[in-house]
Amino acid sequence: MKNTLLIVVVTLLLPAVARAQDIPPHIGAILKQIRAADKDQLAVSEEDGRFMRLMVLSTKAKRALEIGAASGYSAIWIGLGLKETGGHLVTIEYDKARAAQAAANIRKAGLSDIVTVVQGDALTEIPKVSGSFDFVFCDAWKRDYQKYFTMVFPALNHGGVFLAHNVINKGNEMADFLKTIRTDPRVVSSIVSPGSEGISISYKR
Ligand SMILES: C[S@@+](CC[C@H](N)C(=O)[O-])C[C@H]1O[C@@H](n2cnc3c(N)ncnc32)[C@H](O)[C@@H]1O
């Protein structure tokens, strides 16, 4: 009876323990704080964040770009992946106050050497980022996705991935982009939904 009880307790506790140890506690606390302060609900869901870290790790991405940082929630998840691959992220945010918050949150997370926040309009800032990318995460205004895809595609490495957020819950705002990723023979695309908003992943052949 005692043994059965012990097994039940351990089994119930294991997922929580594994999840808690999965990221450093101080980063977990910062992520929670960002979500608590995120009144406009701009940040991706925790599951989407976890998925992006996994994508960085599984593709062994080193050079990453994010379009739309808000307060740095998704950038921290991407940064956690890049910490293990030895990579670097440039994240671009138009809003001055949000860009400052993102930089402060990333500093608190101890990821300033991995994530650089650029304040400005992505449409003018992207061409100034030198080099090519293995991983791109697009999460700015939805009607601009096609423009970002066209702009970034030449700098996306073969074997690199272009991810876009809200492709399920805001798909009607990006019909041109969705048509492109479904029909352009240069990419292989799929849509997943770790949270409920949907993420497209387009692999460049
Ligand atoms: C949905 S939020 C990003 C959330 C963030 N990726 C996260 O999960 O924590 C979209 C952000 O894109 C920014 N944005 C919109 N258009 C932009 C542009 N042209 N250049 C840079 N940032 C832009 C907005 O200011 C907003 O903060």
72 Cα to the center of ligand 1, angstroms: 10
User: Does residue 38's CB lie within 6 angstroms of at least one atom of ligand 1?
Assistant: no
| Domain residue limits, the chain | 2-204
Whether ligand 1 lies within 6 angstroms of the CB of 51 is answered as no
pTM given for the model: 0.92
The total number of residues written for the chain in this structure = 205
Q: Which CATH number fits domain 2-204: 3.30.1380.20, 3.40.50.150, 3.90.70.10, 3.90.420.10?
A: 3.40.50.150
Q: How far apart are alpha carbons 68 and 74 in whole angstroms?
A: 9
Q: Are 96 and 71 in contact (CB under 8 A)?
A: no
- pLDDT of 22 reads 85
What region does 166 belong to: left with phi over 0, alpha with psi -120 to 50, or beta? left
Percent of the chain with pLDDT over 70: 90
Mutation to probe ligand 1, out of 51, 92, 94, 167 (largest number of atoms < 8 A from CB): 94
Predicted local distance difference test score (pLDDT) of residue 15: 45
> In the numeric block, which tokens belong to residue 117?
């926040």
Helix (H, G, I), strand (E, B) or coil at 145: helix
- Please check whether residue 182 is in contact with residue 151, taking contact to mean a CB–CB distance below 8 angstroms: no
Distances, alpha carbon 132 to alpha carbons 144, 159, 194, 197, 201, in Å: 21, 12, 27, 28, 18
Give the residue carrying structure tokens 């930089």: 103
Asked whether 95 lines ligand 1 (CB < 6 A), one says yes
Distance in Å, CA 70 to ligand 1 centroid: 5
- 74 in ligand 1 pocket by Cβ < 6 Å? yes
C-beta of 125 in contact with ligand 1 (< 6 A): no
- Convert the pLDDT of each residue in 89-115 to its tens digit: 999 999 999 999 999 999 999 999 999
> Strands 88-93 and 156-165: what pairing?
unpaired
pLDDT of residue 16: 45
Q: pLDDT averaged over the chain?
A: 92
- Low-confidence stretches of the chain (pLDDT < 70) are 1-21
